[in-house]
Amino acid sequence: MQTIVTEVLVIGGGATGAGCLRDLAMRGIRAVLVEKGDMTHGTTGRYHGLVHSGGRYAVKDPQSAHECAVENKILRTIMPHCIEDTSGFFVATPWDDPSYGDTFLEGCRKTGVACEEISVAEALRREPALNPRISRAFEVNDASADSFLATDLNVLSAKHYGAQALPYHAVVDLIREGDRVVGAVVEDLSTGEHKRIEAAYVLNAAGAWAGKIAGMAGVKVTVVPGKGVMVAMNHRMVNTVINRCKMPADGDIIVPAHTVAVIGTTDRHVPDPDVYGIDPDEVALMMEEGAKLVPNFTSYRALRAWAGVRPLYKDQDVADDRDISRTYKLLDHSQRDGVEGLMSIVGGKWTTYRMMAEEAVDAIAKKLGNTQPCRTAGEILPHNQAGHFHRKGERLAQIERDDTYGDLICECELVTRGDVLASIQAGARNIDDIRRDTRLGMGPCQGGFCTFRAVALWEEQKAAQQAEGGSSSVSLSGALLRHFLQERWKGLTAVMWADQLRQARLDEIMYLDTLGVDLLPPGGENSQAGEGVVTKHAAIATEYDNA
Ligand SMILES: Cc1cc2nc3c(=O)[nH]c(=O)nc-3n(C[C@H](O)[C@H](O)[C@H](O)COP(=O)(O)OP(=O)(O)OC[C@H]3O[C@@H](n4cnc5c(N)ncnc54)[C@H](O)[C@@H]3O)c2cc1C
């Protein structure tokens, strides 16, 4: 078994793990991160896309509100290229008690959340699609963010400082010697090979899976997987984040993200973060609540529904999961459970990932005798080739400048041949990885017209590599095609009505009736042996299992 020796092993390639890896590396601590899927495979790649101002929690969860307000300012400084400064409104609709606005203002004042009441006329002038019957409006510093890009750039920066990141590597066991965790056994899901990673400290940043990881060391950590459903509409009907001005509830935020608007979310406890579905009533609720904020909401096409699981840390009994604080907790298992060498960083928000990483790395650095200060609040994340928030207008301008219309692979999101090739060259292992890098397949046709082109490009690249001594196989491309289509179609099943049903039928005709994709070799374990296109484990490849 191959052995890797490092100072700190970080488990989890979401925002928190990537933030920890960067912070460790910037302080000169040797670190390796393992992630069982692609980076952002977990909740970070399935969240609502909001850089919280803190307003949402100003009344109910003041600590979390304050943390969000502090980090909101820092994120704008260190990753302006991952954030779209949309601003945010909290509005009182006819279903909301207008007097809550005063409680809200007071909560914002106490928690340091910048907030200003604006006139209803001003709110409607800036957002004409808003419900004209709103009675009050408040402006806050909400924004929209690209979590795929932000995580990638954290990892890129960490690598620059000498860290190592291993995607598609799952921790299958923690190695415990007496009362100390000394590393982990991981499985390389591409090859099935097991590796031993020895580390002075293991940092558990596995989000909703953190309880499972801690359990491998015999430590009990209760993380409640709180499932939330979101629906992307095909039109950006608002350009400002719109929140209902009331206590947090279901379907009360619309986030404009790239070319679409996303309504969310629900909060339902699921027994396992790997197994959950989307219930039709959750989607219906999103439509109903969306129409309270934007009256013609349901006249737009629902493109897709998906869900993520909140990593809610439960250290006390609460009746409702919404009552679990959104703040985070660093668990030093030597103090808490008498187990040395293991820490867990649990809970929190995407918005507070950097702060969480700072606290976790401060604690580990102290144990290691490292006195370097944290620099992540001041050092801007790097720009990579495509290192800016994907604004469609910018993409269009670039295509016009470079005259690359003929090179478009995904017309909906304006993804070019060059973008796809860059993603493959950067290590994408399947079309879903390319989607996370480029937004391919995320537009109105949901992969209908771009999937076969992307697979052809993949095949072309692999054939070129084969000519130089690499390996490739047609059955592999078939598996890639099937895998991506299945991933896209899972999100469509919940929104199959009207135009989206017609679109799905068109895609079905193209892929099943014309191209006979169902006759290709299945995307299972055997067809991918040794290639690592998807993974050997079905649970890793699925977005939600029982949909
Ligand atoms: C529906 C919903 C909407 C949300 N909206 C917002 C929002 O708008 N703004 C905001 O700030 N926050 C939001 N959040 C919260 C936010 O998304 C999460 O707090 C944050 O993304 C968690 O990041 P993380 O890195 O801690 O966890 P994750 O992103 O889940 O990362 C943990 C990683 O660990 C990996 N892992 C698990 N087991 C293993 C193993 N055995 N071996 C290796 N790797 C493993 C997983 O694959 C996963 O990628 C939302 C959450 C949900 C559910």
Kind and range of the H or E element at 117? strand 115-118
* CB of residue 310 inside a 6 A radius of ligand 1: yes
User: Which of 99-103, 297-301, 402-406 is predicted least confidently?
Assistant: 402-406
* CB of residue 150 inside a 6 A radius of ligand 1: no
Render pLDDT for 333-386 as a digit per residue (tens, 0 to 9): 999 999 999 999 999 999 999 999 999 999 999 999 999 999 999 999 998 555
How many whole angstroms from 528 Cα to the centroid of ligand 1?
27
Instruction: Give the mean model confidence (pLDDT) for residues 16-45.
Output: 97
User: Model-level pTM greater than 0.85?
Assistant: yes
Ligand 1 pocket: which of 10, 22, 44 to mutate (most atoms <8 Å of CB)?
Answer: 44
Render pLDDT for 77-133 as a digit per residue (tens, 0 to 9): 999 999 999 999 999 999 999 999 999 999 999 999 999 999 999 999 999 999 999
* CB of residue 171 inside a 6 A radius of ligand 1: yes
Kind and range of the H or E element at 528? none
- Report percent pLDDT > 70 for the chain: 91
- The pLDDT of residue 489 is 86
* CB of residue 34 inside a 6 A radius of ligand 1: yes
* CB of residue 37 inside a 6 A radius of ligand 1: yes
* CB of residue 54 inside a 6 A radius of ligand 1: no
State in Å, rounded, how far the first CA of the chain is from the last one: 38
Give the number of other CB atoms < 10 A from CB of residue 513: 10
User: Which of 25-39, 405-419, 468-482 is predicted least confidently?
Assistant: 468-482
CA distances from 316 to 62, 199, 321, 412 (A): 17, 32, 11, 46
* CB of residue 36 inside a 6 A radius of ligand 1: yes
* CB of residue 225 inside a 6 A radius of ligand 1: no
How many whole angstroms from 275 Cα to the centroid of ligand 1?
15
* CB of residue 233 inside a 6 A radius of ligand 1: no
How many whole angstroms from 133 Cα to the centroid of ligand 1?
36
| Placement of tokens 């890639």 in the chain | 480
For the chain, what is the total number of helices (H) and then of strands (E)?
16, 22
How many whole angstroms from 346 Cα to the centroid of ligand 1?
10
Give the residues across from 257 on adjacent strands.
Answer: 260
* CB of residue 136 inside a 6 A radius of ligand 1: no
- The pLDDT of residue 469 is 66
* CB of residue 44 inside a 6 A radius of ligand 1: yes
| Placement of tokens 């790997």 in the chain | 274
Name which residue leads in pLDDT, 469 or 308: 308
Render pLDDT for 263-274 as a digit per residue (tens, 0 to 9): 999 999 999 999
> Which of helix, strand or coil describes residue 90?
strand
Nearest CA to ligand 1 atom 41: 171
